[in-house]
Structures are given as C-alpha cells and as structure tokens.
C-alpha cells in the first residue's frame, strides 16, 4: 500500500512539474516592421557594375563626416536621415524627413526623401543588422550595391 502511495505522489509531482514548464509564455519573434524601428548606421557598402568583375568598397572611400550619419525608422512610416556629430557641409540641415514602407514579408524596403524613391531588396533584417541590395541601370550598365547597417 505504501508503494502505491509513494508512486502516486511521485507521478503527481511529475505531472505538476511538467504542467508548470508547459505554461511558460513563448517569446514571439518580432515582426520585420518591429525590427526595422530605430537608428541604423552604415557599416559596409559595396558596388559592382555589370561590365566589370571588380567589387568596389564604397564604405572605404566615404568621408568621416558621412560615416557618422544614420537613418532612423519610426512608427507611422516616418524616416529621418541625421547628419550625425559632424556635417560635411555646415549649412546642411541636421535632419531631413522622409517616409518608408516595408513590405509585409519584410523583403522590400521603399524609402522616399526629397522626391527621390529608392526600392531595396532586404537581404537580412534582425534586431541588430540590416542588409539591403539596390539595383540601378544607367546607360546600359547595371549597378548592384549592397549596404549593411548596424542598429545603434
């Protein structure tokens, strides 16, 4: 009789324990629209022309006054471009306002500022990293650039 009570007690304790662990709230992955919110600084930028095998490192030739610039994506599809701590041209505004749209699947980012619109393919978007691909054609030459950002 004691063996049955002992076994029942252990079984009951195990079931309670398993129930407690199964009730833990699962963390949900943020949506792409949530991940993009915040300030993003360029950390890499390359470009390749269709008529050349060379990949150009545009980030390496950027001025320091441009490297400290950042983009900020806010709710309501508001995008800000901030000149950072140092401006290349002191008369430039500190911030310019634009807009953005991120597709529901998070694979296309459309950015509009000052009447110019850029459509980018989103290659990667996490809570800390964003990588975009842009393709443009000029005079029959296709230019493909990849820009990496880190959230600051």
Q: At 44, which CATH number?
A: 2.40.128.20
Residue 27, pLDDT score: 82
DSSP assigned state of 59 = G
Say whether 148 sits in a helix, a strand or coil: strand
Sequence-separated (6 or more) residues with CB below 8 Å from residue 68: 41, 83, 84, 85, 86
Whether 13 is in a domain gets the answer no
Say whether 66 sits in a helix, a strand or coil: helix
3-state helix, strand, coil in the chain (%, to 5): 25, 45, 30
Structure token pair of residue 136 = 């443009």
Whether 77 is in a domain gets the answer yes
Residues 104 and 94: their CA atoms lie apart, in Å, by 31
Q: Which domain holds residue 73?
A: 32-151
Whether 130 is in a domain gets the answer yes
**Number of structural domains in the chain:** 1
Tens digit of pLDDT at every position of the chain (152 positions)? 455 565 555 555 555 555 555 556 678 999 999 999 999 999 999 999 999 999 999 999 999 999 999 999 999 999 999 999 999 999 999 999 999 999 999 999 999 999 999 999 999 999 999 999 999 999 999 999 999 999 99
Whether 99 is in a domain gets the answer yes
Residue 12, pLDDT score: 59
**Alpha helices of the chain — where are they, by DSSP H?**
2-22, 32-35, 64-67
Q: What is the pTM of this model?
A: 0.81
Residue 8, pLDDT score: 59
Sequence-separated (6 or more) residues with CB below 8 Å from residue 67: 42, 59, 84
């Amino acid at each position: 009789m004691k063996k049955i009570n002992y076994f029942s007690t252990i079984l009951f304790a195990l079931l309670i324990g398993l129930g407690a662990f199964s009730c833990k709230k699962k963390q949900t992955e943020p949506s792409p629209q949530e991940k993009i919110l915040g300030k993003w600084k360029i950390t890499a930028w390359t470009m390749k022309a269709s008529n050349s095998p060379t990949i150009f490192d545009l980030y390496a030739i950027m001025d320091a006054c441009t490297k400290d610039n950042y983009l900020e994506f806010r709710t309501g599809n508001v995008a800000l471009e901030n000149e950072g701590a140092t401006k290349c041209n002191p008369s430039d505004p500190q911030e310019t306002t634009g807009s953005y749209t991120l597709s529901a699947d998070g694979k296309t980012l459309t950015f509009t500022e000052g009447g110019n619109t850029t459509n980018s393919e989103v290659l990667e978007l996490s809570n800390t990293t964003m990588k975009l691909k842009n393709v443009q054609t000029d005079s029959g030459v296709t230019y493909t650039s990849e820009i990496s950002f880190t959230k600051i």
